[in-house]
Amino acid sequence: MIYLKYNKVFFICDYCADYGGNFLASFNFLANRLLSRGVRVYFVFPKEAQGKNWEIDLSKFNVIYCSFDNTNIVNVVSHHLNNDDYAIIHLNFLSSLILTKFKKIIGDHVKYVFHQHMAVNFGLKQVIKGTVLRLCAPKKVAYIGVSPEVYRDVKREVGKRKSYLVLNAIDVKRLKLLPNTDSSDVLIFGTAFMRKGVDLAIKAIQNTILAKKCKLLVVTHDEKKARQLIQEQYGGLPKFVKLLPPVQNVEELYQKTFLFLSPSRLEAFGYAAVEASYSGDQVIISDIPGQNILSAIPGVRTVPSENVQQLRLEIIEAYKHRRDSYEDINAKARKYIDNHFSLEHWTDSILRIYDSL
């Protein structure tokens, strides 16, 4: 059966990460739902992504790898469109200005979704871009923000009528909820070293009793760069800091630690903080737009942005209580996450947007 409103959906994803993570898990779930409707699904990735050993199996869909300049992306999609197709083109991790290229080459008979995944510092550039989009983008476009903060900026850029808020989802099946070890280690994800506040975490632990009792596990895709940044700031790698590469089975990281830190300076959402909470870790996040929505998860604690002293106090408090029973609070956290950040809920929200176009 062909779903009459659209028969093809293209996911255009400028995505080359080593692991599929929650991003690909979400779109794989959505793609399977579309397939059950009789919709033909295409994933379009940069050619650099070919050969990535993603844990997400996309083999049942049409997967295309190509050069990711705007003109070529549009031409690739155009090649797979027929005159009688009713298609949706869903754009991820691209500049929204590519929509003007789609309008020029493909036109308005196709519907578009632009997904804003990253936080932006709204300014003159966004004002100009919004003006260009209002004048030159296709008529039927839905713009999605992944958190209230990102949604606010999307509305400011393109107007409320075409803007939607859809909170990110996590794939809880990736989290096996293994029994917690008796750990004294602290976890932080730090590929974007300064944005993620790794320097703040190091300062919070340095010169305290925690430096002798804890290891700060810094997970990064670029260990060489992280080591260089730390050496420049501290004259060497502190003994309590351990650099680690990402792993495919992310739950292993959460189960090796009692505490997850996200003292970020800028965030659109915060996948890892949600995962860590679901896995049973204590979680401390900075109270910044985009991420502060996660403070509603039972047990997640916040500290003011760039407040090292408060971060230190919260880490010490978490360490003192690391062996306490958290069964009740963990159960409440998982229930909240299931109700607000599930793949099912996310997919239903996206499909409602598709159906409204």
Instruction: Identify whether the C-beta of residue 294 lies closer than 8 Å to the C-beta of residue 273.
Output: yes
* CB hemisphere CA count around 276 (13 angstroms): 26
- Give the distance from CA 315 to its chain's centroid: 25
What's residue 1's pLDDT? 43
What's residue 310's pLDDT? 97
Instruction: Identify whether the C-beta of residue 275 lies closer than 8 Å to the C-beta of residue 175.
Output: yes
What's residue 4's pLDDT? 58
What's residue 126's pLDDT? 81
Instruction: Identify whether the C-beta of residue 270 lies closer than 8 Å to the C-beta of residue 262.
Output: yes
Query: Within the chain, which residues score under 70 in pLDDT?
Result: 1-4, 178-181
Give the DSSP per-residue string, 26-85: HHHHHHHHHHHTT-EEEEEEEGGGTT---SS--TTSEEEEE--SHHHHHHHHHHT--TT-
Stated as kind and residue range, the H or E segment containing 259 is strand 259-262
Torsion of CA 21, 22, 28, 31, to 10 degrees: -150
pTM of the model: 0.89
- Going along the chain from its start, the domains and CATH numbers come out as 8-169+342-356 (3.40.50.2000), 173-340 (3.40.50.2000)
Task: Compute the distance between CA of residue 97 and CA of residue 76 in angstroms, rounded to an integer.
Answer: 17
What's residue 2's pLDDT? 45
